[in-house]
Amino acid sequence: MDKPIGVMDSGVGGLTVAKEIMRQLPDERIIYFGDLKRCPYGDRPLKEVKEYTIEVADHLVRRGVKMIVVACNTATAAALDVLEERYDIPVIGVINPGARSAIQSSNNHDVIVLATQATVKSDAYRDAIHHINGSFRITSLACPKFVPIVEQLRYKDKVVVRVALHQTLKQLLDTSADTIILGCTHYPLLAGEIHDYFGGRKKVIDSGYETAREVSSIMTYGKTHAASGSKRNHLMIVNGDSTRFEYILRDWIPFIDYTIEEIDLEG
Digitized pLDDT (tens) for each residue of the chain, 267 residues in all: 689 999 999 989 899 899 999 998 999 999 999 999 998 888 899 899 999 999 999 999 999 999 999 999 999 999 999 999 999 999 999 999 999 999 999 999 999 999 989 899 999 999 999 999 999 999 999 999 998 998 888 998 999 999 999 999 999 999 999 999 999 988 998 999 999 999 999 999 988 778 988 998 998 888 888 888 777 899 999 999 999 899 889 988 998 999 999 999 875
| Domains 5-93+209-263 and 95-207 equal at CATH topology level | yes
Q: Is 143 a catalytic residue?
A: no
* pLDDT of the residue at 267: 58
Side chain identity at residue 165, one-letter code = L
CATH class of 95-207: alpha beta
User: Cα angle at 48 between 45 and 54, to 5 degrees?
Assistant: 140
Q: Report pLDDT for 237.
A: 98
As annotated, the binding site for substrate includes 9-10, 41-42, 73-74, 185-186
The CB-side HSE value for 231 (13 A sphere, CA atoms) comes to 4
Class of domain 5-93+209-263: alpha beta
Catalytic residue among 39, 68, 72, 78: 72
Model confidence pLDDT, tens digit, residues 204-246: 998 877 898 899 899 888 888 888 877 789 999 999 999 989 9
- Give the bridge partners for 258, in sequence order: 234
Q: Is 141 left (phi over 0), alpha (psi -120 to 50) or beta?
A: beta
Residue spans of the domains in the chain: they are 5-93+209-263, 95-207
Catalytic residue among 78, 124, 184, 212: 184
- Distance (Å, rounded) from C-alpha 163 to C-alpha 122? 27
